[in-house]
């Protein structure tokens, strides 16, 4: 199996990164990285600790993103200014916060829809008077 750059040419940090993100690598590459680190004097315990720390960190990030919401002021601004900005910049996903922010993304779309309804109502009332 050819790996570019070869495992032996990689730094300890790069090898530890391979071990910390095993899901992204083929099992053979992970095994080679572990063996190379042991040869360089990095014990298996240290490798496992680094992987555990990285996994816990990623879980905390996921939970934080899942709980993220807009503040009340941001919600009001999206309702009032969102439709204007969307029409001006032609970007309906302007208030999309990225992957993992499910609640915040739904809020953004809901308040943007609410803003379009509000501006539609204002325009309707203005034109019918």
For the record, the structure tokens of 73 come out as: 């002021």
Per-domain residue ranges for the chain?
7-66, 69-127
Contacts for 5 with CB less than 8 Å, ≥ 6 apart: none
Place of tokens 């919600």: 75
Q: Quick: pLDDT tens for 51-110.
A: 999 999 999 999 999 999 999 999 999 999 999 999 999 998 988 989 999 999 999 999
Phi/psi at 17 (nearest 5 deg)?
A: -65, -40
- Residue whose structure tokens are 């992957």: 99
pLDDT for the residue numbered 54: 93
Model confidence pLDDT, tens digit, residues 24-57: 999 999 999 999 999 999 999 999 999 999 999 9
Q: Which three-class secondary structure state does DSSP give residue 68? A: coil
Does pTM surpass 0.85? no
């Amino acid at each position: 199996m050819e790996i570019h750059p070869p495992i032996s040419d990689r730094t300890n940090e790069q090898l530890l990164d391979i071990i910390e993100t095993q899901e992204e690598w083929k099992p053979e590459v992970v095994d080679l990285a572990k063996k190379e680190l042991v040869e360089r004097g990095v014990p298996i315990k240290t490798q496992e600790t680094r992987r555990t720390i990285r996994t816990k960190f990623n879980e905390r990030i996921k939970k934080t993103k899942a709980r993220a919401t807009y503040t009340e002021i941001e919600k009001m601004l999206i309702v009032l200014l969102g439709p204007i900005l969307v029409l001006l910049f032609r970007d309906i996903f302007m208030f999309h916060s990225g992957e993992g922010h499910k609640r915040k993304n739904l809020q953004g779309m809901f308040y943007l829809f609410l803003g379009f309804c509000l501006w539609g109502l204002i325009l309707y009332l203005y034109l019918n008077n």
